[in-house]
Amino acid sequence: MGGCVGTARESSASSRGSSGEATSSARGKNMPLRQERIRWKSDMPLTEGQVRSKRDEFWDTAPAFEGRKEIWDALKAAALAVEAHDYDLAQAIVDGANITLPNGALTDCYDELGTRYQLPVYCLALPLNLLQSEQEKEGVPEPDGSGDGEETVLKVRLSTTSQDVKLTVLSNNTISQAKRKLDVQEELEGARQRWFYGGKLLDDRLVVSECGVYHNHVIQAIITPQPLTPVDS
């Protein structure tokens, strides 16, 4: 799981000077974040669930290596924004944490002390050769959420407005079903949704009662509008 170790870019003599010039030398040039879709293929084809597991493992272990936890936290937030194609948000996060991008990419960056941080590409986008899960291959139907589910209210924060909305769902609804209810309630018109709670992505097949969402705690919903379809004149 290469690329999770933060390392000092310069040794003591060149980067520990008292002037800002030494620190600048350690950080190198800074480029704006490239606003382009990341395209890559995995050496071994993986399902989306397997990619998400690799990400969880990376983010759980990365702060244990060299580097500062607050920088890792900022990089994680920026990576989520990049995956949602919200490059302006990602750039704002990077700038706010004083992170330098010599090549305009989160795969290789530095903090203001010259410490290097590297993100694997699977933390930024799904591979082009993504495999379907066995359930998807077999066409296993999603639970319809009917039955003995208890009514519960979720507090969801929309990335498009930064406002919290209340969404009434059943405890045995899946996250996918809850997303569809939010779609209708907030008139999102089929926009792509990714829900996060406690820093973890909520899988569409997860049941609401299994999410462990505490009362009044907020679910973060990253909303990506569908691209406009050109109209023939």
Task: Report the 10 Å Cβ neighbour count for 35.
Answer: 12
pLDDT along the chain (233 residues), means of 10: 40 32 55 90 84 86 85 92 88 95 95 94 88 54 57 90 90 89 82 85 87 84 68 46
Nearest 10 degrees: Cα torsion 28, 32, 37, 38: 10
Start and end residues for every CATH 1.20.225.20 domain found in the chain: 7-123
Give which of 90, 60, 56 is closest to 75, Cα–Cα: 90
pLDDT of residue 120: 94
pLDDT of residue 141: 47
Give which of 4, 6, 5, 124 is closest to 58, Cα–Cα: 4
Question: How far is Cα 3 from Cα 19, in angstroms, rounded to an integer?
Answer: 30
Question: How far is Cα 180 from Cα 183, in angstroms, rounded to an integer?
Answer: 5
Which helix (H) or strand (E) segment holds residue 152: the answer is: strand 151-158
Give which of 145, 76, 74 is closest to 112, Cα–Cα: 74
Give which of 111, 125, 145 is closest to 46, Cα–Cα: 125
pLDDT of residue 199: 79
Q: Convert the pLDDT of each residue in 142-154 to its tens digit.
A: 454 455 678 889 9
What is the torsional sign of CA 24, 27, 28, 29? negative
7-123: CATH topology is Bacteriocin As-48; Chain A (1.20.225)
Length of the chain as a residue count: 233
Question: How far is Cα 166 from Cα 212, in angstroms, rounded to an integer?
Answer: 17
Start and end residues for every CATH 3.10.20.90 domain found in the chain: 151-224
Domain with residues 151-224, CATH architecture: Roll (3.10)
Q: Convert the pLDDT of each residue in 25-48 to its tens digit.
A: 445 689 999 998 888 888 888 888
